[in-house]
Amino acid sequence: MKRFAMPLLLIILILSLGFAGCSDDGDDPITPAPTSEFEGYSDWPQVEYTNAPSPFLGPAHQGNNPEYVRAIFSNDPTKIDGNYLEGTLFAKETYTFDDQGNKMYPEAMGLLGMIKRESGFDTDGGDWEYFNINPDDLSTLASGANLGSCKGCHTNATGDDGSDHIFAHPYEFMAESADFDDFNTWSLIGTEQGPDALLGMAHEGNDENTVRKIYKKQLQANPAGWNGFPVGTLFLKTVQDSVGTIIGKTGMAKRGATFDTDHSGWEYFMMDMDSGDMMTMGDNSSMCIGCHTAATVAGNGTDYVFAHTDDPFNN
C-alpha cells in the first residue's frame, strides 16, 4: 500500500495545479469573455438610434442602406480623461423592420459587441475586444482584438469624432441640399387635398385646390425607437397648384445630438424654388414647431411628424 501513496499524492497535486491554471477569473487577456456579459443589453442606456450615413461606415453595419437602423447600447458610457473604464460594454444592433414593425437582422453582423479589457490586452487597440454575436441566442460567433476591420475603423474615433476607439454618440446628422435632390424617388406616403384644420394657412392648407404630397426617404424608419424617429430620417413635402405646378417645397431632417432637444432634434427647411437649394430655418422656426407640436398628440402623429396613410409606422 505504501508504494502507491506518493504517486497518488503527486497526481492529486498535479491535477489541482492544472485546474488552478484554468481559472476563469479574467486575468488571462486571451480568454474570451462569456457572451453572458451581453445578456440584457437592450435594457442598458441607449446612446444611439440612427439610419444616417457616416463617413466611417461605408458598407459596414449596412451604412449604405438607409432602410437599416443602428441602435447602440452601453452598460456604462462613463469616461475618465477621455477613456472608458475597464469592463465597459457596448452592443450594436443593425436591423430593419417588416410592415408590422418587427425587427429583421441582416444575414451577418446583426449584433456586435465591444468589451473594454484590462490594460495590456491590446494596447494598440485601446484594450477593446470585439464580438460578433448571434442575435437569436446571444452565442458568440467570433471574437478578438481585431474582428474583421473593426479595430482599423475604430482608430478613427478621435477628436470631434470620438475618443478611446468609440465614436461620438449620439451622432449628429447635418442635412445638405443634395440630400433632398432625389426626393421624387423616395416613398410617397401621403397625398392630401383641401383644407386641413391642423395646417391652417401653412402649405396652402386653406386652399381647396392645392395638393400636398409627402415623401419619406427611409420607409422603414420607425418612430418607436429611442427619441422617436432615428437620426437621419428625411421627409419632404411639395405643394402643387391646381394645374400640378410645384409652388412650394419644405423638408424635415432628424438632426439629433444636442440640436433642439426640446423638440426632438428636428431641423426644418424651405427650398428655394429657383435653385432647389434649401434655406435653413433651424430650431427657432416658431411657425414650424408651433404647427408640428400638434403631431405629438395621439391620433395626429408621432414625434412631431403628422400621420400619413402610407407610412407603415405613423398612419
| Neighbouring-strand partners of residue 128 | 116
pLDDT, residue 55, reads 81
State the pLDDT at residue 35: 56
Q: What is the pLDDT of residue 59?
A: 86
Burial class (CB in 10 A: 0-12, 13-18, 19+), 20: exposed
Burial 256-265 (b: 16+ CB within 10 A, else e): bbebbeebbb
Strand 111-116 and strand 103-104: the pairing is unpaired
Along the 315 residues of the chain, how does pLDDT read in single tens digits? 333 333 433 333 333 333 333 333 334 444 554 557 999 999 999 999 999 988 888 888 999 899 999 999 999 988 999 999 999 999 999 999 887 778 999 999 999 999 999 999 999 999 999 999 999 999 999 999 988 889 999 999 999 899 999 999 989 999 999 999 999 999 999 998 876 766 655 666 667 788 999 999 999 999 988 889 999 999 999 998 888 888 889 999 999 999 999 999 999 998 877 766 766 665 556 678 888 899 999 999 999 999 999 999 999
Question: Domain extents for the chain?
Answer: 32-167, 177-306
Asked if the domains at 32-167 and 177-306 fall in one CATH topology, the answer is yes
Task: Look up residue 192 and give its amino acid.
Answer: E
The CATH superfamily of 177-306 is: Cytochrome P460 (3.50.70.20)
Fold of 32-167: Chalcone isomerase (3.50.70)
Phi-psi region of 265 (alpha: psi -120 to 50; beta: other; left: phi over 0): left
180 phi, psi to nearest 5 deg: -105, 0
Greatest Cα pair distance, the chain, in angstroms, is 110
pLDDT of residue 197: 64
User: 3-state SS of the chain?
Assistant: CHHHHHHHHHHHHHHHHHHHHCCCCCCCCCCCCCHHHHCCHHHCCEEEEECCCCCCCCCHHHCCCCCCEEEEEECCCCEECCEECCCCEEEEEEEEECCCCCEECCCCCCEEEEEECCCCCCHHHCCEEEEEECCCCCCEEEEECCCCCHHHHHCCCCHHHEECCEECCCCCCCCCHHHHCCHHHCEEEEEEECCCCCCCCHHHCCCCCCEEEEEECCCCCCCCCCCCCCECCEEEEEEECCCCCEEEEEEEEECCCCCCHHHCCEEEEEECCCCCCEEEEECCCHHHHHHHHHHHCCCCEECCEECCCCCCCCC
Number of other residues whose CB lies within 10 A of the CB of residue 68: 22
